[in-house]
Structure 1
Amino acid sequence: MSTAREPTARDPFAPSAAATSATASAPAAGVPTTGAHRAESASLGDLVGEVTRDLSTLVRQEVALAKAEAAQSAKRAGKGAGMFGGAGVAGHMVLLFLSLALWSALGTVLGGGWSALIVAAVWGIVAAVLALRGRKELQEMQGLPQTAESVKKIPDALRPHPDAAPGAVREERTS
């Protein structure tokens, strides 16, 4: 006669069949699992799911990087465009004051016209400085260099390792 209880369907304290089979194959709590152990115990569906999640994460991170770089480039382009806008306004003022200066010079023969020419010269200098700074800002814009570099690496990551046999699942090597 044995002293161990036989679990019955009515025994609320007996572990279920699913619980005993799940705990038999799972490592003890706190015991780290290696990639090799995961590869041995995981099904092909689990591995494909893990690869799919990793690729999904990679794509999301690349999109986030592209957005950040695009925002930075757009900000720089906006700054350069603003400088060109300022140069346009300043150029308009140059034409306005040059026209007023010519009108005043012809009207009074060397009277108040010189003051209008001085103001026009100042606006001309402002227009030149703004145009040069705007051109410099636009020339320094490089597009999306980090995203382009990362996207170039993706096809290499998807190629199988040259030493791997076709269809074989590689085990992670631990040193």
Structure 2
Amino acid sequence: MLIESWHDGAVTRAQDNAGGDRDGAGLPRVPSIPLSDEKTVAAAEAADASIGSLVKEATTHLSTLVRAEVELARTEMAKEVKKGLTGGLFFMIALVVILYSSFFFFFFLGELLSNWLPRWAAFGIVFLLMLLFAAFCGFLGYRKVKKIQAPERTISSMKDTAAALRHPGAEHDAPVAP
């Protein structure tokens, strides 16, 4: 990897100067994940590496690569989750503002109806409409909650795993004696 920088009119390369410019300032050290120890690589080349040592080295490289990819995915997901939480917070704030402002809408509706009805009857009608709407929403919520089911596959899998751990040689379908 070549990193070049202009400093005092001269081009410096990161490979030539790992600590920065000639005076120690400038380019920072480039972070990297070492795939293997330099001594191990030199020893393997010197000893004309066997298949076993090559497989071991390849496994080490693959393991390091997988760990780096998992860390990258975790970092990216953390950023996206933060964005999602921030967006959800703004939606919650908007919902609270809408709920508080609905009071003024219902007050307006009551005043509008009071043009044709006595004031107490207009506000009574608005109150009954609000109660009916709340009852309707409560009914819809009740129906949704009533449809919630237990995670049967997970429960079954956990029971099977527990049975297998209690009796390691037993057949899966065989009855378990207490």
**TM range, smaller chain:** 0.3 to 0.5
Taking structure 2 as the reference length, the TM-score comes to 0.37
> Which one has a larger percent strand, Structure 1 or Structure 2?
2
Structure 1 or 2, whichever has the larger Rg, is 1
Structure of higher RCO (CA pairs closer than 8 Å, 6+ residues apart):
1
Q: TM-score, normalised by structure 1?
A: 0.38
